[in-house]
Amino acid sequence: MAAAAADVRYGIVGVGMMGREHLHNLAHIAGQVEREQSVRVRVTCLADPHPESLLLALRLAAQLGLPPPQTFSGHHELLDSGLCDAVIVSSPNMTHCEILMDIIGYPKPHHVLVEKPLCTTVQDCQKVIEAAKQRPDILVQVGLEYRYMPPVAKLIDIVKNGTLGQVRMVAIREHRFPFLVKVNNWNRFNCNSGGTLVEKCCHFFDLMRLFADANPVRVMASGAIDVNHKDEVYDGKVPDIIDNAYVIVEFDNGSRGMLDLCMFAEGSRNEQEISVVGDIGKGEAFVPESIVKVGNRAEGRDGVVTIKAEDERIKYQGLHHGSSYLEHLYFLSAILSEGASNPSINLNDGLLSVAIGVAGQLSVEKGRFVTIEEVLSS
């Protein structure tokens, strides 16, 4: 379906901060894969209704030494152009469903890498999944790239190797800065983003599933907007996105996960700290220090080993410690396999990460446990 097996043309829909980050990564990957695999990667077109974003993306392409991509005001024009074989969807969250449905339903197949969250609601995720089932000629990968951060990937390997035994508890702390400013301030409102626990935290719920090797059953959360955005007003409306929360997730194998989120904690050495405890050992990952600590119950504190986590495949660190670079390598590999391999992060992964976030948002609102069955069937 590509122009040629060794020629992959990309279009990017939505060239705000993340769209331009994808452009950066593809520019760096292009040189690497052409040298090592004789694969030609090109970014041929961009689409965004915001002229300033298009201008910034064109300037970046020039700075990166790329041929100027053709620009369009919307994804329909991009699809009709016939200029690309793969589409990166990095537009605002609330636009994902419509854009994905249009790409999946388009007569000419286009492979898709969609930024997290897959969609802002469970129902929209399910709609996209059903549509994609009718298009076996299309590959759809979800951008839950935190899996690929070197310390996280190392901890995933440690868990899969059985070093910690049966995982019983997963604790993830993200202490960071507030949400960044986006075009038209779309990320200040739950109706656009899906809510903080969907927009930001789907990454961590995805990791919990991986570490627990199980599916979520029910969620209990407590959260609020206590510090950030309270003095902001847009079109007469005050932002309603929470800036801190605790979330407990119970899984069907009896294990539990806990998220500790604070978005006014710039004074932190690490933005993410992940702890996985099994019945025989404990592992921890720290980002951006990029270290992993592993110990077992028998040896105690004195037996804890510290490992520096690195991945020599990463040629560009970018905004997410090289994980977006690896995400694109996996996506390209799946495209080139011509159906022989599945996307590294699939639509069901995207759905369940959103479902946990939606259940958390509802739990904050209702003050009670919310089952995953409840949000999946509503």
pLDDT band at 6 (very low <50, low <70, confident <90, very high): confident
CA dist list (Å): 57 to 1, 9, 165, 183, 373: 27, 17, 47, 14, 42
pLDDT, tens only, 76-134: 999 999 999 999 999 999 999 999 999 999 999 999 999 999 999 999 999 999 999 99
E strand segments, the chain: 7-13, 40-47, 70-72, 86-89, 111-115, 140-143, 167-175, 216-224, 244-251, 256-262, 272-278, 281-287, 291-296, 305-308, 370-371
Percent of the chain at pLDDT exceeding 90 = 94
pLDDT band at 1 (very low <50, low <70, confident <90, very high): very low
Structure tokens at 129: 């999944």
Q: What is the mean pLDDT of residues 174-179?
A: 97
Instruction: Tell me what pLDDT residue 2 has.
Output: 42
pLDDT, tens only, 328-368: 999 999 999 887 678 999 999 999 999 999 999 999 999 99
Q: What is the mean pLDDT of the chain?
A: 96
pLDDT surpassing 50 at residue 256: yes
pLDDT, tens only, 236-254: 999 999 999 999 999 999 9
What single-letter DSSP state applies at residue 238? -
Domains (range + CATH), the chain: 6-144 (3.40.50.720), 146-316+347-377 (3.30.360.10)
